[in-house]
Amino acid sequence: MSNIVVFGAGVIGLQTAVSLIKAGYKVTVIAKHFPGDESTEYTSPWAGAQWRTHATADQTEQCQWDIASYKYWIDMTGKDAKSGTDSGIEIYPSYFYWATPTEESISPSSIWFTSHIRNFSVLPNTSMPPNTYAGILYDSIAINPPKYLASLLSHIKNLGASTIRAALPTETGLAGAITEAERLLEQEGRKRVEVAAFVNCTGLGARELVKDENVFPIRGQTLLARLPSVASPVKQQSSLLPPPAIYTREDEATPSITYIIPRPGTSTYVLGGTKQANDWTIAADTATTSEIIKRCRSLWPALREAEIEVLATQVGFRPGRKGGARVEVEEVQVNGKMKVVVHQYGHGGAGYQNSIGSAEKAVKLIKESIGRMTIVK
């Protein structure tokens, strides 16, 4: 059984660990942050999150990754609703709107993913909220990130994975991080273990670890909010919201996107948001908070007069990358030996919906690389 070390415990790193274990590998995850941590350095817990593809029809691989995740989650919840709930995922109707004419909004029925998702339909113009050009409806997945990440971590541990909490050095590059990882493994009492490959799932950290100048932050500010109860029989019907659903609108060319996402397993919603490239500002902006509430009230008419109780204002940094996600093999010389490294980072705001398919590609690359290195030896 070959040993693989994964750097990073965000959604990409943890899902890759799951996929590697299921493929027959022994896995160790080394990360500075794990589920339960609330550092701004740890991106995944701050996501919305929902299944909403960012891929265009010509981005074949990203399309495949997104559909792989969609089918996996739909199948999980379909076979065992409790399993989905325990993992922090749930199926909801998703209303998606465009604020301006685009190629997709002009002809929504021609969108590439319509044949891959459930219950797709084009919304009639008479049902559009304010400041909206066109809209579609389909079954999607809402994700409770802290719960989902915790379930992935529990899953890999139950499958036999090991974890090491440590901050790997970046000043000595990837070779230095690998050397430190091997030292940590020895420290854990695994002196005779030969690591067959390393997987770099460090997200924004790759900017320093491998000196990738294409990596950049995309700042997102969101609100965790409690909205009026859906099912309280003592309230007047007019004060209640309709059953939970996901609402999203691609706004005009600004650093904003409006969304309302129910958080599975709770009575809360995530309201958003912003997409601010190359912005490292950690502090939440009060004006942005007010603007998010205003946009969400406009997007979902049921919220216009409703009380919105803001429980928390959240800021996270999506791991953007010019040219898209990097999922490829590199052979690195470390102390006179060649080491196989599979890079898997830079998924931007698509980390959750990319995670299943991207992990499958990483496993494929590892299999091919280990096989090639064995032949060379």
Q: What residues form the annotated binding site for FAD? A: 43-44, 202
Rounded-to-integer distance, Cα 329 and Cα 201, Å: 13
What Cα–Cα distance (Å) separates residue 43 from each residue in 107, 206, 314, 315?
A: 34, 13, 11, 9
- Helices 145-158, 11-22: inter-axial angle, 10-degree rounding: 30
Transcribe 314-338 into DSSP letters. EEEEEEEETTS-EEEEEEEEETTEE
Contact 156, 14 (CB under 8 A): yes
Residue ranges of the binding site: 43-44, 202, 259, 318, 349
* Structure token pair of residue 111: 């969108």
What Cα–Cα distance (Å) separates residue 334 from each residue in 2, 31, 154, 207, 331?
A: 19, 20, 32, 20, 10
Contact 206, 346 (CB under 8 A): yes
Residue ranges of the binding site for D-dopa: 259, 318, 349
CB-based burial label for 23 (10 Å; 0-12, 13-18, 19+): middle
Cβ atoms < 10 Å from Cβ of 299: 23
Rounded-to-integer distance, Cα 120 and Cα 125, Å: 16
